[in-house]
A and B are shown apart, each in its own frame.
Chain A
Amino acid sequence: MVGIVIVSHSWKIAEGVCDLAREMAHGHEGIIPAGGLDDGSTGTDAEKIANAIVEADTGDGVVILADIGSAIMSAESAIEILEEEERGINAVIADAPIVEGAVCAVVEAAGGGSIESVLTAAEESREANKL
């Protein structure tokens, strides 16, 4: 099953998005938050993201959803750290909003979708109209 990592500056946002996503996809164990810094302050931490990717991966790859500012750069750094360690994990960043993207991604992942289809599901969430 494709793993999902939620990156946010706020650990509360990351945990909250994961809680919501898990409710949408019962039985998906690999929805992992990587929010804030270890001391609880706001920010993004590439090492924490790298650890979350490892935790989320079951061999089918990981789709990362990240919020604003440095979150994307930290997620890219995390992927590079894992590449340098030659972990062999296929991790990609979705160009998508984290709440809507996470919900669409986990539903696709829980249904057994490939990493490509989970990434597409996350990115297509941008097109959803709310009104």
Chain B
Amino acid sequence: MGGVYKCISLIAERITENKDFLTELDREIGDSDHGINMARGFAAVMEKLSPEDSDIGATLKKAGMTLLSKVGGASGPLYGTAYMEAGKITAGKTELNPSDMKAVIESAIAGIQKRGKAVKGEKTMLDALIPACESFSESIAHGADMIAALESACESAREGVEYTKTIIATKGRASYLGERSIGHQDPGATSALITLEAIRDYYKGA
């Protein structure tokens, strides 16, 4: 079974387990569909992928294309583009070293920013991913291995999710709420954290 298949399977499993939680978060500040949309998208991804898939780039592109088509909400084009961009730089690879992983996270962030035109501090998935990427890069610069660097990335992503509780949403449906969006954690940042934790757990178990 391909490593990338196992890793995406674990992401899909975690997203599905958290479907109601993500939808509940989105009910508070959005249009209450984040968990439903993400679970539908990842169910479609798992139908498209084969356990034999091992080319990371091709598999991420297939997953990204499916998310673009099947999620339905804003997270579709955002996560879809993130996976597609990560797929572009991992073509032909069947495993990643820490510096490849850094490039994957960076290109995923670049994809999300290209599509959503958001920056850090706007109560989006970027508030989890950008600090995670910074911690990951710093950890590997200090010689950390993949698991240790991912641990540190998840820690920063978790802090990022907490930070989204303190700020006003300026993107998407939650921005209509203005100050009333304060106090709620961002569903997209939460699903980004869940994704990073699944990647970390894949490496811990691999």
Binding site for B on A (CB under 8 A): 9, 37-38, 41-48, 69-70, 73-74, 76-77, 80-81
Contact = CB atoms under 8 A, between A and B. Distances in A.
11 contacts: A45-B70, A45-B72, A46-B77, A69-B31, A70-B75, A73-B76, A74-B68, A74-B77, A77-B77, A77-B115, A80-B81
Nearest to A78: B68
Interface size class of B (residues with CB under 8 A): 20 to 34
A73 B72 contact: no
A42 B31 CA distance: 12
B157 to A, nearest CB: 23
Nearest to A73: B77
Contact of B76 (A38, A46, A80): A46
A52 B61 CA distance: 21
A47 B69 CA distance: 5
A43 B115 contact: no
A46 B68 CA distance: 6
B160 to A, nearest CB: 22
B121 interface: no
Nearest to A75: B77
A47 B48 CA distance: 14
Given A45-B70, A73-B77, 11 more contacts: A37-B70, A44-B76, A69-B73, A69-B173, A70-B74, A70-B75, A73-B74, A73-B116, A77-B80, A77-B115, A81-B65
